[in-house]
Structure 1
Amino acid sequence: MNTLLFMCFAVYTASAASLKSVDKNYSRFIEYSDHDGVLHTLDLEAPVDTALLEDFSRNPDNNRYLLYTRNNPVVSQTLRFNNSNSIALSQFDANNPTIVVVHGWLNDQHTELNKVITDAYLRKSNVNVIVMEWSKLASSNYATACAGVPAVGRRLGQFLEFLHSATGAPFEAMHIIGVSLGAHVIGHAGRELGGKVARITGLDPAGPLWHLNSNRIRASDAVYVEAIHTDGGPVGLGIGKAVADADFFPNGGVIQPGCLTNFCNHDRAWLLFASSVTYNHFLGRKCSNMLQVSLNNCRGEILHMGNDDLTKRGSGLYRLNTQRSYPY
């Protein structure tokens, strides 16, 4: 199944009513169609499955870490938390940068975004790509997946701490990438590590029920935090506001060329990012405010959007225009 990376309110004790109260832009039910033409209904007030949350919190193996390298670009190897042998017997190379990709709601290891981003990286350079799968929780109802975001992110942070301790892989050579709900997951991973990871990139961070949520991705989660916003309208699937050190708004961040649905706009963030890893061709112009972003009259300094640069730095709002088809 393709990306259906939706959004949640990341607190274990939140009731459905309190979730609803923090964001009145959205109706209770949201219907949308995925790339397979399957219609889904998202209920913002669905009951939380507390038993599943408790199980997920207790069992670290509910997060799966699937390694891809140039030596195994197609068939993954499973790395296990607190299991040094699983790493020693794998193709993991601590001398190479480590890239972590985190999916969102209703996704799993086979989701297209994982393959597209992994392939872009492995074609570009010799890196370790770890796809973190949390499908057991991500396949639950919306509210339950929402409430599990902090625990999922903390487990990822603990895994990366273990990876660092077991292999010497430096935090300054780690880049964590999260799509939609996964963008908020990686924020918690970065926080668990005290902001020591070199870079975090949130790809259209989830919007509904996150606009006033202090648990969302933020600039202090890594040395450098970047967000790419592609579906940030009033009822968009993305958050549509600054959350990072540098926030990019391709085509204004609301409607993307060639897209007729929110789902298409939402997906465009990870497609643009994968293309930027290959070509590093997107040049954002710094804006003074969101009005300049909307009017496309930004005149500030230029900063590349996306790419694989682990030492990248920048701050502020950026606007750029793209094309409707790859490489955009």
Structure 2
Amino acid sequence: MNISTVSKPHEQLATTLAGEMAAVNELIQTRMASEHAPRIPEVTAHLVSAGGKRLRPMLTLAAARLCGYEGEHHLRLAATVEFIHTATLLHDDVVDESAQRRGRPTANLLWDNKSSVLVGDYLFSRSFQLMVETGSLQVLDILANASATIAEGEVLQMTAATDLKTDESIYLQVVRGKTAALFSAATQVGGVIANASDEQVQALYDYGDALGIAFQIADDLLDYQGDSKATGKNVGDDFRERKLTLPVIKAVAQATADERTFWERTIEKGRQEEGDLEHAMALMAKYGTLDATRDDANGWAAKAKAALDVLPDHEIRTMLRDLADYVVSRLN
């Protein structure tokens, strides 16, 4: 696919699903209101109005339409997915002590940590109310499990991020928690609510899982070789924040004794000096870990596309395939 000659896949999805997304946005506005605590809609509106592609709720709508759904419960599920995502962002910014998201001050900076945590809790509660309204225990099971997996992934990341014993399997576990769990749940519940076959529901799960992993690996790679204007991050932010992501994990696995001492000082102990980022980049170049990481991202994108083969031949399926290509096209 020639990305440059067509509109972006998520924009195509947004256009195709515009009517349903408008209904989801209206539902989000209604359910984030609070009669007794006006700070809740203030904090939520700040994050919701900051933009973002709304990719996760669109995945739920896309999966439901792909499987022929004609009811309205998919709107509640899409709003649920967005609430879970927004709640995790509020909590993450507190944990990471972030000052900016999507180019705007974070809620915890504008208000305080307590407000961010409690409003996040409120959104989680709202999300479970929406799930229950679908009357599907299977949907409740999927999204409840995803919420637990997300929290588990965040806690694991806290301990694994600066530990040089973190290997690729632990990294993958973190990525499945912090990113892929909500992608896979978003697509899976769209199939469940449409009464798709077990094979199709599994395919939707596999697609979301692989797409989420490709998405996160690509993000981690762009931290070291992306365009700061495009990514909104400075090159090497993850290194400065002592985050063990896949390019570094691959370099540590092949490090000599002296190189391991360097990684221990800069990542585990956090004693970074002038020129350390450049040296880290040189070590990654030495072992070809940036190229290897790109290959991994492309591999997961290919798995995502392959998972769609058992699903109906439909324009949505083509868009979902293109979306998997687009996620990794940023690396080329």
TM-score, normalising length from structure 1?
0.32
More strand by share: 1
The structure whose Rg is larger is 2
Q: Which has the higher contact order (CA 8 A, sep 6+)?
A: 2
